[in-house]
Amino acid sequence: MEKQFKADENLIINKKKFQLPHLFWIMMGILLLGSIATYIIPAGNFATDEDGTVLGNQFAFLGHQTPVSPWKMMMLILDGLNESSIIIYLVLVSGATIAVLLASGAIDNILNWAIFKLQDKGMGILVSVMFILMVYIGALAGSDSLIALVPIGVIFARKLKLDPLVAIGITTFPTLIGFATGPQGHVISQLMIGVTPYSGIGFRFISVNLFMIVGLIYLMRYIKKIQSNEKTSLMYSNGWRAHQLGNQYGDDVIKEEKLKLTSILALLVFIAHFLVIIAYSVFGGEQLYHFFTVVAIIAAIVIGLLTRMSFDDIGENFSKGIASIAFIAFIIGLARVMSLVLTEGNIIDTIVFTLTKPLMELNQSFATIGISLVVAILNPLIPSATSKAAILVPIIEPIANTLGLPNQLAIQAFQFGDGFTNLVSPVLGWTIGSCVMAGVPFTKWVRWVFPAVLIFMLMSFVILYILTIVGWTGGE
């Protein structure tokens, strides 16, 4: 245990080395830089046709600057919040619904029951069922609150005499795979770029399963390796020994837990509310955002009542969910301010023209890959996926328009670039917190997962190349 505590101390020290300023100051700094940029970057505009479509091959400088002062930038904050209001409210309601589901205990009950029932069915079946379940949880309800599942992975690994890396490999690893490929991870960016929420669900369902299979194979190979020779474990040098686990901990016994019908019903309601929203959008229902909000609120209430929450408990957890994501909603509004500053300063087109110039010399497929690669490189600077979308989507959209790429394809490139590198981000609470809870030094985690990240990125590049060739639009 002493060695585990030392590992946790080293992890905390390493985390401090990578610590960035608070996201509020990052955003305010970005806005200030945007204001300054309007004094420096030459103002210019793309020509547009009668429908307002950007003509990427027709760009001209204005010949004079149209600067936006820092004070004027601050005066645009309320405009940014107002113009982002629909997205902000959808984010708040969605976060509140997920918070009620997690607080209901339904997810914990289902996972604990599954582990107990499958523990004698063989390593392959148990790991596979757990992994698949975690991937779909990440795909449908991905958020950093899923870090709460790591202790289940810790008990799972101890019971099966596997090292702490497997505890993360069976929880955070698959949930982040699901988040990187599933529908929940791109809804906000779809909204921001004007694409119908949850459109392209057919391809993304295939994508989730494809990356899930590869991730499961990657984890199983490691498990079989350390079972054959515990010295091959990356945690061996940190004192992990398989034969000591039975006597070292008192909480490694997986206790029997009965599966509650209410837990199943709560999960089904949560899944069903997504399916209803998807079906409504596919069939062209009117007032989609109004419908989205109503269905999400009803789902939260039904989940709470099914799991025997009191009315006060439902309200309390709903409000906690809103509170937990309120700042991110504010950041979305600030990001819109950046778009207003760059637009009023007439430099957004100049920036897009400069960024797309080298990509214009490539074919569209490589340009799509280029967008994904740029997002992957920028990912560690902005740990929140929602905030990253708020900052980058206003830039990606005109780039995609200039290159003639469908907005749906641009969002897919964004999601792939953002999602997989979360697994090695030193500033993402989801990843760092999982390492702390499992007692795994962050450097050991990166060493284990980095080859998988490279595999996922290469796979995503191939997929983006093919999607661009076939002209995929995902029914946007």
Residue range 378-430, pLDDT digits in tens: 776 565 666 667 666 766 777 777 778 888 888 888 889 888 888 888 767 67
Please indicate, yes or no, if residue 53 is contained in any of the structural domains: no
Report, as an integer, the average pLDDT of 261-266: 90
Report, as an integer, the average pLDDT of 192-216: 85
Q: Indicate the pTM of the whole model.
A: 0.65
pLDDT band at 1 (very low <50, low <70, confident <90, very high): very low
pLDDT for residue 56: 58
Q: Assess contact for 353 and 49: CB atoms under 8 A.
A: no
What distances in angstroms separate CA 264 from CA 104, 272, 376, one per listed residue? 12, 12, 37
Q: Assess contact for 176 and 185: CB atoms under 8 A.
A: no
Q: What whole-number distance in Å separates Cα of residue 404 and Cα of residue 256?
A: 57
Q: Residue 302: pLDDT above 80? A: yes
* Angle, alpha carbons 107-113-114 (nearest 5°): 90
Report, as an integer, the average pLDDT of 448-471: 93
- Kindly report the backbone phi and psi dihedral angles of residue 44, in degrees, each rounded to the nearest multiple of 5, phi listed first: -165, 170
pLDDT for residue 381: 57
Please indicate, yes or no, if residue 62 is contained in any of the structural domains: no
Contacts of 219 (CB under 8 A, 6+ apart): 127, 131, 166, 169, 170, 173
Highest mean pLDDT among 69-78, 85-94, 390-399, 410-419: 69-78
Q: Assess contact for 390 and 331: CB atoms under 8 A.
A: yes
pLDDT band at 101 (very low <50, low <70, confident <90, very high): confident
Radius of gyration of the chain from its Cα atoms, rounded to whole angstroms: 23
Question: Poorest-confidence range of 10-14, 109-113, 193-197, 398-402?
Answer: 10-14
Report, as an integer, the average pLDDT of 333-358: 80
Please indicate, yes or no, if residue 55 is contained in any of the structural domains: no
Name the residue with higher pLDDT: 159 or 406.
406
Please indicate, yes or no, if residue 476 is contained in any of the structural domains: no
Name the residue with higher pLDDT: 5 or 447.
447
First vs last C-alpha separation in the chain: 53
Q: Could you identify the residue written with the tokens 């490999």? A: 169
Tokens of 9: 């101390």
Q: What whole-number distance in Å separates Cα of residue 38 and Cα of residue 66?
A: 7
pLDDT for residue 249: 40
Report, as an integer, the average pLDDT of 309-335: 85
Exposure b/e, 246-277, CB count within 10 A at least 16 = b: eeeeeebebeebeebebbebbbebbeebbebb
Report, as an integer, the average pLDDT of 119-129: 75
* Angle, alpha carbons 150-155-159 (nearest 5°): 145
Q: Could you identify the residue written with the tokens 């969605």? A: 94
* DSSP 8-state assignment for residue 426: T
pLDDT above 90 covers what percent of the chain?
A: 24
Please indicate, yes or no, if residue 97 is contained in any of the structural domains: yes
Report, as an integer, the average pLDDT of 149-172: 82
pLDDT for residue 11: 47
Report, as an integer, the average pLDDT of 309-336: 85
Q: How many domains does the chain have?
A: 1
pLDDT for residue 250: 43
pLDDT for residue 15: 45
Q: What whole-number distance in Å separates Cα of residue 251 and Cα of residue 168?
A: 18
Tokens of 3: 């060695």
pLDDT for residue 254: 56
Please indicate, yes or no, if residue 373 is contained in any of the structural domains: yes
Please indicate, yes or no, if residue 56 is contained in any of the structural domains: no
pLDDT for residue 377: 77
Please indicate, yes or no, if residue 54 is contained in any of the structural domains: no
Name the residue with higher pLDDT: 265 or 126.
265
What distances in angstroms separate CA 388 from CA 27, 285, 381, 465, one per listed residue? 11, 29, 9, 23
Name the residue with higher pLDDT: 218 or 365.
218
Q: Residue 2: pLDDT above 70? A: no
Q: What whole-number distance in Å separates Cα of residue 263 and Cα of residue 279?
A: 24
Q: What whole-number distance in Å separates Cα of residue 63 and Cα of residue 149?
A: 57
Q: Residue 299: pLDDT above 80? A: yes
pLDDT band at 162 (very low <50, low <70, confident <90, very high): confident
pLDDT for residue 69: 94
Structural domain range at position 210 = 2-46+67-470
Report, as an integer, the average pLDDT of 221-242: 84
pLDDT for residue 13: 44
pLDDT digits (tens, 9 = 90+) for 134-157: 898 788 766 665 666 777 787 778
Q: What whole-number distance in Å separates Cα of residue 155 and Cα of residue 139?
A: 23
DSSP output for 209-256: HHHHHHHHHHHHHHHHHHHH-GGGSTTGGGT--GGGHHHH-SS-S---
Name the residue with higher pLDDT: 380 or 47.
47
Q: What whole-number distance in Å separates Cα of residue 463 and Cα of residue 472?
A: 11
Q: Residue 84: pLDDT above 60? A: yes
pLDDT band at 18 (very low <50, low <70, confident <90, very high): very low
pLDDT band at 251 (very low <50, low <70, confident <90, very high): very low
Q: Residue 246: pLDDT above 70? A: no
Name the residue with higher pLDDT: 30 or 173.
173
Q: Assess contact for 212 and 178: CB atoms under 8 A.
A: yes
Q: What whole-number distance in Å separates Cα of residue 134 and Cα of residue 438?
A: 17
Q: Assess contact for 55 and 47: CB atoms under 8 A.
A: yes
What is the residue type of 391? I
pLDDT digits (tens, 9 = 90+) for 272-291: 887 787 677 666 667 877 88
